[in-house]
Amino acid sequence: MPFGVDTEAFSPEAGGTEDVDVVSVGADPRRDFELLSAIAARQPDLRFRIVATKDRARSLGTPPANVMLETDLPLEQVRDRLAAARVVALPVRRNSYSGATTVLLQAMALAKPVVVSRTDAISNGYALQDRVNCRLVAPGDANDFERALLETLADSSSLGSRARETVEREFSWKRYTDRLWEILSAAWMRDPS
């Protein structure tokens, strides 16, 4: 069952002023922050922010000068960091689970344009369409990820609003809890005791 997001807490109105070009957030060990750091090194005029766990941040070493690295922020500050981005970047290595989906839905709910790796769970479970409500890129492809990121930064106007529409229609917290209730109720109704 696809996850949901609180569309009120993560709404475009919850955001502040955009003060960074690209933000990436995640505690996921499969998040490909190394790919994003390599892109940042090739794009010194862009401002990047990575929000990770302390352990994950240590594994990155010293990021390029145009990358701000923050660790272990509370959810409200994570939301503020996402809201302050022109584009949210979620590079993820191939995996068998649904990595990056929570941040993906939060960013989409904030009407942020998102560039995300096309892992199996991402491409099949969240009504995502490349160039419609997000940008989907093959995992590990730094050149394509960079190209999608630069194209999105150059023209992001409609991608973010369509991302928000997708979340409101398919992935709101209410819709998620309603689906969960339906599943549990159906299971309870089948139990003869």
Per-residue pLDDT of 62-81, as tens digits, reads 999 999 999 999 999 999 99
57: CB partners within 8 A, 6+ apart: 50, 69, 71
* Long-range interactions of 49-58: CB distance < 8 A, separation 24+: 49/20, 49/22, 49/23, 49/24, 49/81, 49/84, 49/85, 50/23, 50/24, 50/25, 51/23, 51/24, 51/25, 51/26, 51/78, 51/81, 52/25, 52/26, 52/27, 53/27, 56/26, 56/27, 56/29, 56/31
For residues 52-62, average pLDDT? 91
pLDDT tens digits along 74-115: 999 999 999 999 999 999 998 766 667 889 999 999 999 999
Domain spanning 12-190: CATH superfamily: Glycogen Phosphorylase B; (3.40.50.2000)
Question: Would the pLDDT of 2 be above 70?
Answer: no
- Average per-residue pLDDT in the chain? 87
Position 16 scores a pLDDT of 67
User: Where along the chain do its domains lie?
Assistant: 12-190
What is the model's pTM? 0.87
Question: Would the pLDDT of 164 be above 70?
Answer: yes
